[in-house]
């Protein structure tokens, strides 16, 4: 299992479409990668990705979670 993450602090102060925007938000990303190898020919990877809410100019992007899976089968033992 491999895990990593980062923290961010976004702040925007700018005129946008005739309105002055002053928005700020702390955020973070977190990733976990699980790798399984039941035998020498078969392996499985499952990445889990999470992003917290973010501020981008005049809008807020909601938090997102994404999980995926990948299988690998080797025809030869190498």
> Other C-beta atoms within 10 Å of 55: how many?
19
Which residues make Cβ contacts (< 8 Å) with residue 67, sequence separation at least 6? 46, 47, 48, 49
The pLDDT of 15-19, averaged and rounded, is: 75
Tokens of residue 65, six digits: 């979670």
Q: What is the DSSP letter of 26?
A: E
Task: Report pTM.
Answer: 0.66
Confidence of residue 77 (pLDDT cuts 50, 70, 90): low
Residue 35 · residue 47 · CB < 8 Å:
no
Q: What is the pLDDT of residue 78?
A: 58
- Rounded CA separation 3/15 (Å): 39
* Topology of the domain covering 2-73: Outer membrane efflux proteins (OEP) (2.20.200)
The pLDDT of 29-56, averaged and rounded, is: 90
């Amino acid at each position: 299992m491999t895990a990593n993450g980062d923290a961010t602090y976004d702040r925007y102060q700018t005129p946008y479409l005739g309105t002055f925007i002053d928005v700020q938000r702390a955020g973070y990303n977190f990733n976990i990668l699980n790798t399984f190898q039941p035998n020498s020919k078969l392996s499985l990877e499952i990445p889990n990705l999470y992003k917290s809410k973010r501020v981008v100019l005049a809008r807020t992007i909601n938090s997102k979670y994404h999980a995926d899976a990948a299988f690998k089968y080797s025809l030869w033992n190498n």
